[in-house]
Amino acid sequence: MTDAAVAKPPRNQWWDVWDQFKSHRGALISAVIFIAIILIVLIGPMIWPYEPTKTDIRNKNMRHMLSCFGLDWGAIAGCLVNPTESGIKVSWWHPLGTDQLGRDLFARMMFGGRISMAVGVTAMLIALVLGTAVGVISGYFKRFDWALMRLTDLFLALPLLPLLLVMVMLFRAPLSATFGTEQGIFILMVTAIGITSWMPTARIVRADVLAIKEREFVLAARSIGTRPRKMIMRHLLPNVMSPIMVSATLGIANAIITESALSFLGLGFPPDFPTWGRLLNDGVQYMQAYPERVMWPGIFISVIVLCVNYVGDGLRDALDPRIRGL
Amino acid sequence: MLTFTIRRLVFAVPTLLFIALVIFLLLELAPGDPMAQVPLTVPPEVKEAMRQALGLGEPVPIRFWKWLVQFFWIEPQVFIDWLTNKSFLFGWLPDTDVYVPCSDATRAYCDQRVISWQTRSPVMDIVMQRMPQTLTVVGLSYVVGILIALPIGIYSAYRQYSVFDQVGTFVSMIGYSVPPFFSGVLVIVVFSVVLGWFPSIYDTTHRVTDWDSFVYQVKQMIMPVMVLALQTTAQISRFMRASMLDNLNQDYVRTARAKGMTEWVVVLTHVLRNSMIPVVTVIALGVPAVFGGAIITEQVFKVNGLGQLLITAIQANDLPMVQTITFIFAILIVLFNLIADVLYGVLDPRIRYD
């Protein structure tokens, strides 16, 4: 019995994490969908022949290919094979349809996805770095604890959505002038979302650091004269990795939703620069005649966020050693 | 408990002052000019006089102090006068006259209220006009959301891993993930555009006078209320479930069952009462977030409430209005944090802050 246990080759702990993660079916499926969407969004625009901003007024207001299924039973197959003869304005070249200026919605969706993902990941990284720094410093150095935690409380008491709206309104013009319209707004969005969403991470990391600080291995490390810098990098950070990873996944979802909400309220990216929130906002005007224009971006935002939430759920279980052993 | 409450109240004052300062300094950077809409034919010295009248010429600390005085000293006076003179609840009290309006030229001194740059009328008057719409939609949705969430949470904890629980988990995951600006648009597409059951725009001028107008009111409220309630339900049912699960395996539950109590009494009297403690605080903490979420929902359904007022004020560069509304949201957050903390101590005798 013990021999068998000893004979088993030592294994990286991440394999255990992966095994546990695999057993959460929802999380696994979500991870696959998430990666698939990322790949489509990254590679798609290189292959797809249409530019997201290329207008083609002759092919404006095209419907999506699914509208073939709204035809009579006999006509569906014909419509799918030869869309131009079907009587409705559909084409395989524009599977999701085109907008009021004839811009291809598939290209716009892919391009918008790139921006939304980029905003989500970058804002999450900023929030993560800030939150981890605040959490580790206030947990490890007692003299900063009180001040940093009061700061966190103050930030938690700020009305975030109104403040984000105000920040976007204020800094849009100066930043656009300095960095160019797109880069300026990207920087603005990412920073604004980042500095308003680091607080939960800071609290979780601080609590974990406080607990780990009292453990024997930290005492041992200190007794051989480890410097605080080394102590944090070597001993504390690896041990608080799991809550950080979980809040990273949830942070992406939060950032994507916030960016879309701001774009939806008309205070995000400019109209000719599509993001999913912006496309949704543009589609609202044409909602009655072309409901698909709000459906595509809305569905993609929801699916991405749902996947990210499930992955976060699975990661939390997988990284928790108490559950993993079972 | 009382000392704790007082200590928290005292600590809330610097917090609120700091938040007010942050908002004020942020708005100080605003590039907008309230005189931008004034015709070019108006001579510059008149424009300068108009700026002075809006209180713009003075240095930042003085303007911040004046705003504080206006918000915390003058506006409450107006409110007290309104309560005792006109309001339905306190109209029987003797009429007070603490606020001195500037329109009354016979007096040497007058109180300047917070004036909106957009409409040139007092900000708080507009806020009070918009408040009922927000409160009916947001308040009702929160109540509906809680009423749906509690039974779902209780039952999915009681039948953990059953089909009901799995479906409940999935639905609340969706409720978390679908942002209100999409779920709102989605229900408009389905129920207004395709089915034509409900109006897509909330008509705030509608008055309930008879049965038909009441039915119309219900119809126009269903969609915004349900969209907001979906989010509330998703969060609170999860909390309720987790909290019930924590308690269902406790020793006192086994004791209660061993005494021969019915499942109904065990679950709904013993377990539920203990599980409600954290849930009640979560409910209190969620109130400000719902107001924040209403900003988007109001925009989707064109409800002219507080959130819509904030958005139009931001677009019109109406800084006093933005400052005041944002600060009202901050007060809500601080207040409900305090309520949650105090409630937790009151409900749970094991928690003692002193």
* Domain at A185, CATH number: 1.10.3720.10
Indicate whether A190 and A68 sit together in one domain: no
Structure tokens at B293: 């979420």
Indicate whether A78 and A186 sit together in one domain: no
Q: Give the minimum alpha-carbon distance from B104 to chain A in angstroms, rounded to a whole number.
A: 36
Cβ contact, residue pair A264, B31, below 8 Å: no
In the predicted model, is pLDDT for residue A323 greater than 70? no
Check if the beta carbon of residue A275 is closer than 8 Å to that of residue A268. Answer: yes
Cβ contact, residue pair B15, A154, below 8 Å: yes
% residues pLDDT > 90 (chain B): 1
- Answer yes or no: is A4 within a domain: no
Indicate whether A133 and A178 sit together in one domain: yes
Looking at A51-60, A132-141, A150-159, which range is the least confident one? A51-60
Is the pTM here over 0.90, yes or no? no
pLDDT at residue B106, as a whole number? 67
Contacts 24+ apart (CB under 8 A), A282-285: A282/A99, A284/B185
Indicate whether A128 and A248 sit together in one domain: yes
Q: Give the minimum alpha-carbon distance from A235 to chain B in angstroms, rounded to a whole number.
A: 32
Which string of DSSP letters, residue by residue, matches A78-131? HHHH-GGGSSS---TTSTT-B-TT--BHHHHHHHHHHHHHHHHHHHHHHHHHHH
pLDDT tier, B32 (very low <50, low <70, confident <90, very high otherwise): low
Indicate whether A78 and A168 sit together in one domain: no
Q: What is the mean pLDDT of the segment spanning B278-297? A: 83
Please give the mean pLDDT across all residues of chain A. 82
Q: Give the minimum alpha-carbon distance from A154 to chain B in angstroms, rounded to a whole number.
A: 6
Indicate whether A162 and A76 sit together in one domain: no
What are the backbone angles phi and psi of residue A104, rounded to the nearest 5°? -70, 125
Give pLDDT tens digits for A200-220. Answer: 899 889 988 888 888 888 899
pLDDT at residue A13, as a whole number? 76
In the predicted model, is pLDDT for residue B215 greater than 90? no
Partnered with residue B122 across adjacent β-strands are: B115
In this complex, is the C-beta atom of B296 within 8 Å of any C-beta atom belonging to chain A? yes
Counting the structural domains of chain A, the total is: 2
pLDDT tier, A132 (very low <50, low <70, confident <90, very high otherwise): very high
pLDDT at residue B246, as a whole number? 84
Q: Which domain holds residue A80?
A: 62-97
Q: For chain A, what's the residue count? A: 326
Indicate whether A50 and A80 sit together in one domain: no
pLDDT tier, A133 (very low <50, low <70, confident <90, very high otherwise): very high
Q: Which residue of B has its CA nearest to A283?
A: B185
In the predicted model, is pLDDT for residue A73 greater than 50? yes
Q: Is the C-alpha dihedral spanning A82, A88, A89, A92 positive or negative?
A: negative
Closest CA to A104 of A296, A312, A308: A296
Cβ contact, residue pair A261, B27, below 8 Å: no
Indicate whether A165 and A81 sit together in one domain: no
Indicate whether A130 and A246 sit together in one domain: yes
- Answer yes or no: is A69 within a domain: yes
- Answer yes or no: is A294 within a domain: yes
The residue from A97, A119, A154 where one domain ends is: A97
Q: What DSSP state is assigned to residue A69?
A: G
Please give the mean pLDDT across all residues of chain B. 81
pLDDT tier, B105 (very low <50, low <70, confident <90, very high otherwise): low
% residues pLDDT > 70 (chain B): 90
Indicate whether A155 and A71 sit together in one domain: no
Q: What is the mean pLDDT of the segment spanning B263-291? A: 85
Instruction: State the complex-level ipTM.
Output: 0.78
Q: Which residue of B has its CA nearest to A263?
A: B181
Partnered with residue A104 across adjacent β-strands are: A98
In this complex, is the C-beta atom of B325 within 8 Å of any C-beta atom belonging to chain A? yes
- Answer yes or no: is A6 within a domain: no
pLDDT at residue A125, as a whole number? 93
Nearest-angstrom CA–CA distance, B18 and B14: 6
Check if the beta carbon of residue A265 is closer than 8 Å to that of residue B311. Answer: yes
- Answer yes or no: is A2 within a domain: no
Which of A153, A170, A306 is opposite residue B177, by nearest beta carbon? A306
Indicate whether A205 and A75 sit together in one domain: no
- Answer yes or no: is A48 within a domain: yes
Which of A166, A267, A294 is opposite residue B189, by nearest beta carbon? A294
Which of A163, A267, A302 is opposite residue B326, by nearest beta carbon? A163
In the predicted model, is pLDDT for residue A1 greater than 50? no
Q: What is the mean pLDDT of the segment spanning B320-349? A: 85
Check if the beta carbon of residue A283 is closer than 8 Å to that of residue A183. Answer: no
- Answer yes or no: is A5 within a domain: no
In the predicted model, is pLDDT for residue A290 greater than 60? yes
Cβ contact, residue pair B296, A265, below 8 Å: yes
pLDDT at residue A115, as a whole number? 87
pLDDT at residue B301, as a whole number? 83
Give pLDDT tens digits for B122-158. Answer: 888 888 888 888 888 888 888 999 999 899 988 888 8
Q: What is the mean pLDDT of the segment spanning B194-207? A: 77
Q: What DSSP state is assigned to residue A9?
A: P
Give pLDDT tens digits for A94-110. Answer: 777 777 777 877 888 88
Residue bearing the bigger pLDDT, A259 or A93:
A259
Indicate whether A44 and A132 sit together in one domain: yes
In this complex, is the C-beta atom of B18 within 8 Å of any C-beta atom belonging to chain A? yes
What are the backbone angles phi and psi of residue B100, rounded to the nearest 5°? -105, 100
- Answer yes or no: is A247 within a domain: yes
Q: What is the mean pLDDT of the segment spanning A284-292? A: 79
pLDDT at residue A129, as a whole number? 93
Give pLDDT tens digits for A256-274. Answer: 888 888 888 878 787 777 8
In the predicted model, is pLDDT for residue B37 greater than 50? yes
